[in-house]
Amino acid sequence: MLKLTARQQQVFDLVVQAIERSGFPPTRAEIAAALGFSSANAAEEHLRALARKGVIVLSPGASRGIRVVHATDDSRRDGEGVDGSGAGGAGLPSQAAFAGMLSRAGSLSLPLIGRVAAGSPILAQEHVLHQYHCDPALFTSQPDYLLQVRGLSMRDAGILDGDLLAVQRQNEARDGQVVVARLGDEVTVKRLKRVPEGLALLAENPDYPTIVVDRERSDFALEGIAVGLIRPTPL
C-alpha cells in the first residue's frame, strides 16, 4: 500500500469516522465542507487518489459509494485487482467476497426478510425468504437480519433496489444513521434526523419526499439501524 499524503490521510480518516458514526460514508460535499475544500470536485480528486493507492473503492454513480478496503479483504488476499464491480456503500463486499462468504465455515447465519405484513413482527417466520451465511467482518456491528431493499429512495447512499441491508435490531438511533422504520402498514429505509416536530425520515434521492413523523404518532416504530450492505450480483 502506498504512503498517503497528510491531506489524503485527513480525507481517509474522515471517511472511516463517518462510517463508524453513522454506518455509511460521507458525500463529496460533506467531505469538502468538513475539510474546507473549495468544492466537492476537490474532495473527488482526493478520493480518486485514495482509490488509486488501494485504500478505498469507489462506486460510480452513488454519492456515498465509498468502501474502505481492509487488509483482510478477499480480493486483496487472492491478489485480484479492485475495480469496484459489485461495490456500493459501507460494508459492501466484492462479488468474489460475496460468493465466498456464503460457504465460509464459522460464518454468521442471518435471515433474509422480504415483504413485511402489516402489524406483524419483522422477524416473523412467514417473512423469512432465506438464510444467508455471512462473514461477520463485512459489518460495522453484528446484524440480526438482512432486509431486501425495494425501490430507489436511498440510491445516493449507495443502497439500491434488490440490495440486502444488514440491520441490527434496536429502537433508538442517532441523527444521521440509516434506519429501518415502520410507518403504519409500511416498512421503510431512510436516514434519521430529529426536527422540532418529531423525527424526519430523509430519502437519499431528490425524487422522494422527506417523511416527518409527529411525536404523537402511534403507528411509528424504529425497527433497527443499518450496519452494512450486500449486493448479491450474479457472477
- Coil/strand/helix, residue 117: coil
Cα distances from 60 to residues 6, 12, 31, 88, in angstroms, run 25, 18, 17, 8
Between vectors from CA 164 to CA 163 and to CA 165, what angle results, nearest 5°? 110
| C-alpha dihedral, 149 to 151 to 155 to 158, nearest 10° | 20
List the catalytic residue out of 59, 63, 94, 153.
153
3 is a catalytic site residue: no
Predicted confidence (pLDDT) per residue in 8-30, tens digit: 999 999 988 887 776 778 888 88
Measure the CA–CA gap between 8 and 107, rounded to whole angstroms. 34
Sign, CA torsion 164/168/174/180:
positive
- The x, y and z cell numbers of residue 148, run together, are 431486501
- Please give the pLDDT value at position 210: 94
Residues in the chain: 235
Distance between CA atoms of 17 and 20, rounded to whole angstroms? 5
Residue that has been written with the C-alpha cell 411525536 in this structure: 215
How do residues 201-225 score in pLDDT, each as one tens digit?
999 999 999 999 998 888 899 999 9
**Predicted pLDDT at 40:** 87
Determine the Cα–Cα distance for residues 139 and 2; give it in Å rounded to an integer: 26
Q: Classify residue 99 by burial, with Cβ atoms within 10 Å: 0-12, 13-18, 19+.
A: middle
Is residue 193 flagged as an active site residue? no
- What structural domains does the chain harbor? 6-101 (1.10.10.10), 108-230 (2.10.109.10)
Nearest to 202 by CA among 226, 183, 167, 178: 178
- Cell (9 digits) for 212: 416527518
- State residue 57's pLDDT score: 84
Catalytic-role residue among 107, 190, 193, 218:
190
Q: Return the amino acid letter for 193.
A: K
Give me the residues paired with residue 165 across strands.
147, 229
pLDDT at 3: 84
- The distance from CA 47 to its chain's CA centroid, rounded to whole angstroms, is 18
| Residues in the chain, pLDDT under 50 | 71-106, 235
Of 13, 4, 115, the closest CA to residue 53 belongs to: 4
Average per-residue pLDDT in the chain?
Answer: 77
